[in-house]
Structure 1
């Protein structure tokens, strides 16, 4: 198939450091190319891909100091539309910017929604565009907007050989991702102090979360049970996750997917996660981690974590969360959207 992938411009594809959506777009793009498809990637100019790259900004916007990120994204959508005749399907990963224009195009497309959908301003917007074909990254993500034209749910997947599993239990607890109130790094710190096991925190601090970091988290980094590592890259994730006793994901928000959970499992590391958002769809209790609903349950999970086979964690990853499986799921949707006599993207209109 001739497939267009349209990525956000905030980070390169793949991102140099933090950037979940751009990382998933990269894995999907590379796997589609590997399977022999003709793929065009619309992304920042510093992206690295084996697909045809159409650069829509000189470099990732987060690194370039651009004051108005909307303008480059609108220009990218215009570029996609100018080239639309070249593709069998256009796959958008940029939320909703393209929807008014694609409504008026006779071109098969779909949109994967990567973020949270429970913000109040989203309801009237998506209600207007409810006929557009959407893909969710978990069934939990759909709950605020059940009326949308959901054509499928496709769980994220990463390359099978991206991480090497370690079957030796680690020595520390791990927090990986972003310092923000909804990620609850404070819970991770509290749990480490309760159980007396070192917590390593490899995390990014966004500008929007600077006050939370300074006022809530930074004072607690003086604890002898906590070490703040800072933001790490993909190469450093291997050692960081493989060396952990467990990954902590004690979140307090409707997490749409939680990529770090499958990254940990790929390394053989089990996950202790709060029952929230997509967690029950990713974690199989006793098989690749534990799901908890209180700090007391989290303490018990740490005490029992070595009962979980690290080989089993890797097996769950290989069964459910590889890039090959993700690409296969998307290809099935592409075919339905592009080739059905009355395609899905027209049925709900």
Structure 2
């Protein structure tokens, strides 16, 4: 019987991640480099050319694990760039390939390659939501699945009831709330390289920034209204997915046209982000949904730019209210926060990022989980047969 691992208990919020303690043992297994497979979605390459939160995190994690000395294999699209061993599972990112109509067959091909090579790895880290669950029964105890999306969708409840033993990692504690009892093994906040987005102590522009997707749950309409009431320019750097095209055409595009203070830039790449975020007075994050994490918040913080965010989903776990930004509950508070954002110490905003949200923190958090699972397997194998039905409690 597989060990039952209790959900990790969140530590103090100042901790870079809510983690189990690292494993140490006499044969030095805790310091042996691990053979790790990272299995990425195929919608974008790693790292993405433009928008792509999950693939960006997979890329950051993969490169940092290689830097820390682990043997990493990345299953991803063929146009990915990595220092790991790349297993190209499509010629190019699916979103950028006009010939692709259905992404599922390509992911099935990739997962079959992963299954065939499963014995090559100490740990297989999946980032593809639910697709792999039926394929990993024989080696589920050597897997970790990070859930990157929202978990309050009704169709997910019967799925996770059917697969309760797969080791899962959340990217915030808020993300977990809608889930039935499952095998949580940790919460690991996202992290980005410390040198990717340089600190900007004195922004060159006095404008508000919105970065992300044009979609109803991201509420760019709120951002436009906040900027208008605050009397400041708003720059919107965002992509428009096909599913959100009508929302753009019917709601947001007319608002942009009606407000002279609003500039729509479109999608931007990693080279454009430092100037876009770093020169803003504040990032507006006016979401209206249970955001699992919100990568753009820590990207802004890395530049020293405070974040004005509506209190939903992971926001209270990411933003230190009054230090790295302001958490607001309504439009009046958001407009008022714009006036106060310029008085925050941008060096403290950056320091908060460095203390909690670098890729080094994220990678070490995952390695601790990988090793903890390996230690749990060893413990289970060494236990007497009479104890095989007793649950193993792992305490954070």
Which residue of 2 is the match for residue 311 of structure 1? Answer: 347
**Alpha-carbon separation, structure 1, partners of 2:278 and 2:301:** 9
1:76 has 2:107 as partner: no
In 1, Cα distance between equivalents of 2:343 and 2:207: 16
Q: Which structure's CA Rg is the greater one? A: 2
| 1:291-334 per-position Cα deviation (integer Å, ceiling 9, x unaligned) | 00000000110111122110001000000000000000000000
Task: Please state if 1:245 is matched with 2:278.
Answer: no
The Cα offsets for residues 225-271 of structure 1, whole Å up to 9 and x where unpaired, read as: 11101111010001000010000000000000000000000011000
Aligned length: 347
- Contact 1:6–1:42 under 8 Å retained in 2: yes
1:27 is the counterpart of 2:60: yes
Structure with more contact order per residue of length (Cα contacts < 8 Å, sep ≥ 6): 2
Q: Is the 8 A contact 1:337 1:343 kept in 2?
A: no
Cα RMSD of the aligned pairs, angstroms, is: 1.4
Aligned to 2:318: 282
- For the Cα contact (< 8 Å) 2:161–2:180, is it kept in 1? no
Query: Do structure 1's residue 11 and structure 2's residue 47 form an aligned pair?
Result: no
Q: What TM-score comes out, normalization by structure 2 length?
A: 0.86
> Which consecutive residues of structure 1, in runs of 5 or more, have no partner in the other structure?
none
Q: 3-state DSSP class of the match of 1:264?
A: helix
Structure 2 distance, partners of 1:106, 1:314, is 39
Kindly state the Cα deviation for residue 127 of structure 1 after the two structures are TM-superposed. Answer: 1.0
Counterpart CA distance in 2 for 1:76 and 1:139 is 30
Give the C-alpha shift of residue 146 in structure 1: 4.6
Q: Tell me which of 215, 218, 230 is aligned to 1:180.
A: 215
1:171 matched to 2:199? The reply is no
**1:98 maps to 2:132:** yes
Name the counterpart of 2:178.
Answer: 144
Does the aligned pair in 1 maintain the 2:160–2:180 contact within 8 Å? no
- Matched residues in 1 for 2:82 and 2:139: separation? 28
Distance 1:326 1:316 in 2: 15
CA distance 1:76–1:343, change in 2 (3 Å) = farther
1:338 to 363, 367, 374: 374
For structure 2, the residue ranges without an aligned partner over 5 or more in a row are 1-33, 382-388
Query: Runs of 4 or more off by more than 4 Å in structure 1?
Result: none
1:86-131 CA-to-partner distances (Å, cap 9, x unmatched) read: 1000000000111112123365111000000111111101111111
Aligned to 2:148: 114
What residue in structure 2 maps to residue 153 of structure 1?
187
